Structure 1
Amino acid sequence: MFAEKDSVLVSSITADSPRERLLHLGPSALRADELLACVMQSGNGRTTVFDIAHRLLESIGGVYALADVEVSELVHVPGIGRAKAIQIAAAVELGRRIAHKPSESRLQIRTADDAARYVMDRMRYLKKEHFVTLLLDTKHRLVGEETCSIGSLDASIVHPREIFRLAVRRVASAILCVHNHPSGDPTPSPEDIAVTKRLTQSGRVLGIEVLDHLVIGDGRFISLRAAGYMDK
């Protein structure tokens, strides 16, 4: 009898709205479009919130693309106005911050593998190139992080002044640079190599060592130091 009642309850919940399913089954039981529907809360009178959520994910290429979509792009998706776009952007940013909650003991970056593990999951799916600087203390423990540019990597965009500004302010003794290739292929370009050499030279002048520059692809990476480009 109890098993039969439980079966009826689960069937009833499954037929309910995503919010009811989240309440009874927990957020892990929901698909990405259902979670997105919970964030947006309501439709627009002509289309249900679930259909809007499903359409949005299809139009941008899946849930991971949300990490790289701006409010100005979201408002052009049918059914999503300014308010819903803001809700989505805020939810994505909250998730990003929670995912990178500082540990009680600072993360120590001993190798290129350590750095790659730290950034891989959040950078491998980005649709634009993001240049990130990890700031390290004398024991190579992480003391800060900064996204220095978004867009195609170019020497005129990734300027040493911007890269080292926060490092100087945070009294970092070393930095490790990371950027992604949206193509998924981490093979460094001539621009990647040129930027790396420029930053390495600037670091020597400032007394802040550039430990490495990683190029992140889809599940794999290349260390420019290991490839020999930082010693030339």
Structure 2
Amino acid sequence: MMINLREKILAYGVSTLKNEELLAVIIGNGTKQNSVLDLSQKILCNSDGLNLSLEQLMSFNGIGVAQACKVLASIELGMRKIQSETLPEEVVSVDDVGRHLINKIGNAPQEKLIAVYLNNSYHVICEKIIFIGTVDQATVHPRDILREAVGMSATQVVIAHNHPNGSLMFSKNDQEFTIRLKKCCHLIGINLIDHLIITKKNYSSLKSLNLI
């Protein structure tokens, strides 16, 4: 089985492997009762998007400490690659930003507030994580966002934060903070394009809901 999977990677590329095949390559060996592919399928069927702890992985017959560590390390490496990706320095839309951030922070266990800075032509200048934690007026201030904007001569900004609980609803704190930020942006000639809430599979827009 492992030889066949390696030959498939060599012949067609690793992107052609199914999820269970990728996991099988990482695990390496199965058991007398289950092939490595069967074991991989069992793990995938009993996990929530591979959100597994060391103990949970080791509860599967055939997964020891070494295999569990390999799986967790591979998942973490993939997550870090996604989080290191940035938007291209070209014209982008709010939908581009939303879809990009679903991949980047949709699965984050903590709330992260990100600002995407643009110029007059809607070209991305930079994106930055401004704050990690609950977004409200007591913990994050508009100056934290605007200081960066002024420093890079950005004229427009989109902000977004994720909801680990999966809710696409804007809280009262979210709305109050956004209104305060919009007023501050207006005072120094910066356009607040939108505020997005990001979840694992979707995003919502404060502007599209006519809340700003």
When the two structures are superposed, what TM-score results if normalisation uses the length of structure 1? 0.63
Task: Give the CA deviation at 1:221.
Answer: 3.4
User: Residues 225 and 41 (structure 1 numbering): CA distance in 2 closer, same or farther, change over 3 Å?
Assistant: same
User: Residues 89 and 184 (structure 1 numbering): CA distance in 2 closer, same or farther, change over 3 Å?
Assistant: closer
Partner of 1:94: 81
User: Residues 217 and 155 (structure 1 numbering): CA distance in 2 closer, same or farther, change over 3 Å?
Assistant: same
Task: Give the CA deviation at 1:142.
Answer: 1.3
User: Residues 87 and 114 (structure 1 numbering): CA distance in 2 closer, same or farther, change over 3 Å?
Assistant: closer
Task: Give the CA deviation at 1:176.
Answer: 0.7
Aligned to 1:27, which of 9, 14, 21? 14
1:107 aligns with 2:94: no
User: Residues 101 and 146 (structure 1 numbering): CA distance in 2 closer, same or farther, change over 3 Å?
Assistant: closer
Contact 1:74 1:80 in 2 (8 A): no
CA deviation profile, 1:107-148 (whole Å, cap 9, x unmatched): 333xx4343344344444444322211101012221111122
Distance in 2, matches of 1:224 and 1:173, equals 20
Bigger shift: 197-206 or 186-195? 197-206
User: Residues 140 and 88 (structure 1 numbering): CA distance in 2 closer, same or farther, change over 3 Å?
Assistant: same
Larger relative contact order (Cα-Cα within 8 Å, sequence gap ≥ 6): 2
Aligned to 2:152, which of 165, 170, 184? 170
Distance in 1, matches of 2:54 and 2:130, equals 23
Distance in 1, matches of 2:74 and 2:2, equals 25
Partner of 2:62: none
Task: Give the CA deviation at 1:189.
Answer: 0.7
Partner of 2:114: 132
Distance in 2, matches of 1:121 and 1:155, equals 27
Please give the residue correspondences for 1:179-198 in structure 2 after superposition, counting only pairs within 5 Å: 179-198=161-180
Please give the residue correspondences for 1:1-232 in structure 2 after superposition, counting only pairs within 5 Å: 14=1, 16=3, 18-32=5-19, 34-35=21-22, 38=25, 61-63=48-50, 79=65, 84=70, 88-97=75-84, 100=86, 102=88, 106-109=90-93, 112-217=94-199, 219-230=201-212
Distance in 1, matches of 2:57 and 2:2, equals 27
Equivalent position amino acid for 1:129 in 2: E
Equivalent pairs counted in the alignment come to 203
Task: Give the CA deviation at 1:163.
Answer: 1.9
Contact 2:91 2:121 in 1 (8 A): no
Bigger shift: 144-153 or 14-23? 14-23
Report SS of the residue matched to 1:16. Answer: helix
Report SS of the residue matched to 1:140. Answer: coil
Report SS of the residue matched to 1:153. Answer: coil
Report SS of the residue matched to 1:185. Answer: coil
Distance in 2, matches of 1:158 and 1:200, equals 14
Distance in 2, matches of 1:74 and 1:156, equals 36
Partner of 2:61: none
Task: Give the CA deviation at 1:175.
Answer: 0.7
Q: Which runs of 5+ in 1 are unaligned?
A: 1-13, 44-48, 67-72
Report SS of the residue matched to 2:149. Answer: helix
